């Protein structure tokens, strides 16, 4: 009898494929409605457009969540809380930017209280544009995130940790009173 | 033995809050001793932005002030401009405006039912009501092009006419909603657990209600009968027949009873409007909306939304941009002054229940 | 027609001689007063004339006259008539008395105006940070605060917006009409901003 000879590199690759398959079919979204896009999340999660058949459901605390869904614009007061929430989530974690306001500011581009480009402050994986995006567009965004995870490219947490000084410099330029714990995990 | 007092932050990230706001509670054991509302997480500076946009460019901005029910905003701004300028609106446009406003009320009542029962632990109700609300959003998409934000009501009328066969589709959705009301009754309104939890909780004393600034369904739940649609009828409400229900007992149960009866009245108003709709023009055309100027003056207009009296104070100085547009949402008094009084002595488990019943909606508190 | 409004208007004119009263349309009475007559007028309207419901309080910035205008809107529930009471105060170091004992919701309005316009209300001990956090600039709703310049300097703008044009200039180029002088004087946005 001949046993197949699998070397270490292939074993790691097979393990990664199985892990990614499990991760992409169970994405838990944090229950945080940060902006006015939160009005299209209940239709996506309930009986008509049923996102639960893809494995997407809500989670109450950041410690048990995988996906942070930034629904719409972010004021500076909310940005501070979102950064603290993002750093409390455990790797692997993903960020989805929802709506046109995360891409280039939308219709509030000249307001003194909203930020304009989200990926200077947090690492973003997928953008969904529209104002508001339809529930079918939201589900298509989640499927794109599933493809990114399956290819092994869903590494926003490592990107954040490697470029921490750059992200901190951008964040501290906006948030003047920085009273947050050090990020050490 | 006196219990130790701790501070809890029912913070911006919480599954039981109606939006993005924070309530700071001082708790002794299980009872709330003091409550403080913190807002400012959704501030976009609408009124400053509107001072730099022309009158026509202000209409797409104004919808986004109240997220669950955007149509009273457009209606208020359109009526304020018409009052300052003296512009006439054709009869058919008034009937179409009433139709859009009542359909928005129905979809907002379903969101209220979802929030009220979800904060109690009954999760079947949100699945039913949010799913049924989608049929109304389909009607809106056919009429105006957008599901949530319509940008349909304009100063001088509405933007386009009703499509062919629209009346039949609206009546079909109204029949469906009436048949679903029996199921909602069996699950929520005749539920003994809901009644036991809601009676005697969240009491607003009747003699202080008007002084605290309570408007809308909470005021009618205290037995005081006031509604903008009968106090100062706007559009064609003086030609329609409907009742304004009240209920004695100043707690969450009486507010729920008032809202349940208002759903039936809204469905009957939609049927009357479709019956009586005249023909004719739907828009009184504005000459060149890009260089349109309004003479100097000011006006205060108000509309009845699901949560209460929604007011706009508009000042114009003669140029093509507004001087000042100040929005008064009904949740401004409910969410800060009234909530801090009502939460004294409440149970922690009832905080979210009370917030849903008063109708605290943060986007219109801080614009 | 308008008899109840006329009756209220005569009663107010007899008690406050220096008030300027105008009936704008049915159910709206506009009263213009000196700033030291506002507390007695509000108390008179609330207790004696039964205008028990405070609908709204607002503030308008008149930069050209160097004044701020405070507006109080009251309502009588029996007749559904509304009074719009206006007064003007000085713009620099603006002061006013706090009226939160009349209606508790005025405390919230006063906190907001202190933050947005810089008015100090004596007697209100809850003034401070309300909507904005760590704001160290001038009060933002004043007309000489340029929000576009602040947004361009503080927040990173993604490139691609350079084709957003000034609407008035573009329309006046196409139609051949000149932008009139009063429009340039009242609006603060400068044409050569881009």
Q: Does A144 map to a domain? A: yes
Task: Determine which helix (DSSP H) or strand (DSSP E) holds B70, and give its type and residue range.
Answer: none
Q: Does B78 map to a domain? A: yes
Helix axes A8-24, A135-150, angle to 10 degrees: 170
Q: Does C108 map to a domain? A: yes
Q: What letters, b where the CB count within 10 A reaches 16 and e where it falls short, cover B111-121?
A: bbbbbbbbbbe
pLDDT of residue C173: 76
- Per-residue pLDDT for C175 more than 90? no
Q: What letters, b where the CB count within 10 A reaches 16 and e where it falls short, cover A138-169?
A: bbebbeebbebbeeeebbbbeebeeeeeebee
Domain range for A141 is 21-174
pLDDT bin (cut points 50, 70, 90) of residue C152 is confident
Tens of pLDDT along A137-158? 999 999 999 999 998 888 888 8
**CB proximity C171 to B under 8 Å:** yes
Q: Does B6 map to a domain? A: no
Q: Does A181 map to a domain? A: no
Q: Does B57 map to a domain? A: yes
For the segment B232-251, the average pLDDT, to the nearest whole number, is 89
Residues of chain C above pLDDT 70, percent: 87
Domain range for B322 is 49-366
Is the torsion defined by CA of A107, A109, A113, A118 positive or negative?
positive
**Nearest CB partner across the interface for A78, out of B12, B45, B137:** B12
CB contact under 8 A, C158 and A104: yes
Interface ipTM: 0.90
> Digits of tens for pLDDT over chain A (185 positions)?
677 777 878 888 888 889 999 998 999 999 888 888 888 999 998 888 988 899 998 898 999 999 999 998 889 889 989 998 998 888 889 999 988 888 888 888 888 988 888 888 999 999 998 888 899 999 999 999 999 999 888 888 888 888 888 998 888 888 888 888 777 65
pLDDT bin (cut points 50, 70, 90) of residue B78 is very high
Q: What is the DSSP-derived secondary structure letter of residue C146?
A: -
- Which residues are CB-contacts of A148 (< 8 A; sequence separation ≥ 6)? A125, A126, A154
Q: Which two tokens stand for residue B174?
A: 């109204």
Q: Does C179 map to a domain? A: no
pLDDT bin (cut points 50, 70, 90) of residue B266 is very high
Q: Does B41 map to a domain? A: no
The CATH number linked to C105 is 3.30.460.80
pLDDT bin (cut points 50, 70, 90) of residue C193 is very low
Interface of A with B in 115-144 (CB under 8 A): 131-132, 134
pLDDT of residue C174: 75
The whole-angstrom separation of Cα B228 and Cα C17 is 33
Q: Does B198 map to a domain? A: yes
CB contact under 8 A, A109 and C157: yes
B interface mutation test: which of C103, C181, C185, C188 has the most B CBs within 10 A? Answer: C103
pLDDT of residue A1: 67
**Nearest CB partner across the interface for C154, out of A77, A120, A174:** A174
pLDDT bin (cut points 50, 70, 90) of residue C191 is very low
Distance of CA C70 to the CA centre of its chain: 5
The CATH number linked to A150 is 3.40.50.12280
Q: Does B30 map to a domain? A: no
A:C CB pairs within 8 Å: 48
Based on the structure, what is the number of domains in chain B?
1
Residues of chain B above pLDDT 90, percent: 48
For the segment B121-134, the average pLDDT, to the nearest whole number, is 91
Please, are residues B235 and B324 in contact by the beta-carbon 8 Å criterion?
A: no
Residues of chain B above pLDDT 70, percent: 99
Q: Does C163 map to a domain? A: no
**CB proximity A113 to B under 8 Å:** yes
Q: Does A13 map to a domain? A: no
The CATH number linked to B299 is 1.10.645.10
Tens of pLDDT along B141-181? 999 988 999 889 988 889 889 998 999 999 999 999 999 99
Based on the structure, what is the number of domains in chain A?
1
Based on the structure, what is the number of domains in chain C?
1
Q: Does B207 map to a domain? A: yes
Q: Does C103 map to a domain? A: yes
Q: Does B8 map to a domain? A: no
**CB proximity C23 to B under 8 Å:** no
pLDDT of residue A96: 92
Distance of CA A17 to the CA centre of its chain: 21
**pTM of the predicted model as reported, rounded to 2 decimal places:** 0.89
């Amino acid at each position: 009898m001949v046993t197949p000879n699998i070397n270490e590199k292939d074993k790691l690759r097979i393990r990664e494929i199985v892990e990614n398959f499990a991760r992409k079919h169970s994405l838990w979204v944090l229950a945080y409605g940060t902006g006015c896009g939160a009005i299209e999340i209940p239709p996506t999660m309930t009986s008509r457009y049923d996102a639960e058949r893809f494995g997407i459901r809500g989670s109450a605390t950041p410690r048990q969540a995988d996906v942070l869904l930034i629904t719409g614009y972010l004021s500076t007061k909310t940005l501070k809380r979102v950064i603290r929430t993002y750093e409390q989530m455990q790797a692997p974690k993903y960020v989805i930017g929802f709506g046109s306001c995360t891409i280039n500011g939308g219709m509030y581009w000249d307001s003194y209280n909203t930020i304009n480009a989200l990926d200077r402050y947090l690492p973003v994986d997928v953008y969904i544009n529209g104002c508001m995006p339809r529930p079918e567009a939201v589900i298509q965004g989640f499927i794109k995130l599933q493809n990114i995870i399956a290819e092994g490219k869903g590494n926003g947490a490592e990107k954040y940790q490697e470029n921490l000084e750059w992200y901190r410099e951008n964040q501290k330029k906006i948030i003047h009173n920085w009273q947050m714990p050090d990020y050490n995990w | 033995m006196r219990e130790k007092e701790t501070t809890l932050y029912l913070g911006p990230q919480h599954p039981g809050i109606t939006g993005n706001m924070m309530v700071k509670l001082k708790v002794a054991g299980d009872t709330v001793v003091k409550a403080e509302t913190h807002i400012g997480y959704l501030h976009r500076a609408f009124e400053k932005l509107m001072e730099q946009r022309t009158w026509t460019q202000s209409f797409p901005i104004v919808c986004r002030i109240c997220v669950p029910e955007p149509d009273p905003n457009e209606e208020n701004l359109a009526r304020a401009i018409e009052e300052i300028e003296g512009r006439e609106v054709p009869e058919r446009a008034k009937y179409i405006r009433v139709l859009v406003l009542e359909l928005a009320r129905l979809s907002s009542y379903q969101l209220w039912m979802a929030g009220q029962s979800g904060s109690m632990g009954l999760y079947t109700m949100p699945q039913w009501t949010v799913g049924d609300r989608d049929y109304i959003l389909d009607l809106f998409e056919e009429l105006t092009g957008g599901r949530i934000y319509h940008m349909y009501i304009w100063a001088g009328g509405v933007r386009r006419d009703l499509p062919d066969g629209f009346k039949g589709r609206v009546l079909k959705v109204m029949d469906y909603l009436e048949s679903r009301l029996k199921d909602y009754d069996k699950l929520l309104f005749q539920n003994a657990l809901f009644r036991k939890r809601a009676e005697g909780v969240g009491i607003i004393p009747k003699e202080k209600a008007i002084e605290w600034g309570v408007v809308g369904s909470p005021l009618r739940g205290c037995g005081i009968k006031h509604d903008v649609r009968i106090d100062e009828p706007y559009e064609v409400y003086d030609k329609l027949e409907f009742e304004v229900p009240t209920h004695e007992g100043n707690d969450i149960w009486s507010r729920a009873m008032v809202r349940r009866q208002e759903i039936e009245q809204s469905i009957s108003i939609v049927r009357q409007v479709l019956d009586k709709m005249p023909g004719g023009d739907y828009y009184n055309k504005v000459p060149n909306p890009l260089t349109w100027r309004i003479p100097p003056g000011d006006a205060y207009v108000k509309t009845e939304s699901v949560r209460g009296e929604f007011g706009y104070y508009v000042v114009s100085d003669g140029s093509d941009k507004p001087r000042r547009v100040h929005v008064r949402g009904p949740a401004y008094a409910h969410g800060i002054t009234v909530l801090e009084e009502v939460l004294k002595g409440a149970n922690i488990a009832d905080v979210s229940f009370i917030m849903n019943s008063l109708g605290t909606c943060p986007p219109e508190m801080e614009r | 027609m308008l008899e109840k409004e006329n009756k209220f208007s005569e009663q107010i004119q007899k008690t406050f001689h220096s008030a300027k009263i105008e009936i704008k349309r049915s159910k709206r009475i506009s009263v213009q007063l000196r700033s030291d007559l506002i507390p007695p007028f509000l108390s008179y309207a609330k207790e004696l004339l039964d205008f028990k419901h405070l609908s709204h309080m607002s503030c308008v910035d008149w930069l050209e006259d160097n004044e701020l205008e405070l507006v109080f809107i009251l309502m009588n529930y029996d007749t559904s008539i509304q009074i719009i009471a206006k007064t003007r105060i000085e713009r620099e170091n603006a002061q006013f008395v706090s009226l939160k004992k009349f209606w508790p919701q005025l405390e919230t309005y006063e906190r907001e105006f202190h933050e947005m316009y810089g008015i100090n209300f004596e007697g209100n001990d809850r003034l401070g940070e309300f909507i904005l956090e760590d704001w160290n600039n001038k009060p933002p709703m004043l007309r000489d605060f340029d929000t576009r310049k602040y947004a361009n300097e503080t927040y990173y703008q993604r490139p691609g917006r350079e084709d957003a044009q000034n609407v008035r200039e573009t329309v006046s180029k196409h139609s051949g009409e000149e932008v009139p002088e009063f429009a340039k004087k009242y609006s603060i946005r400068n044409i050569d901003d881009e």
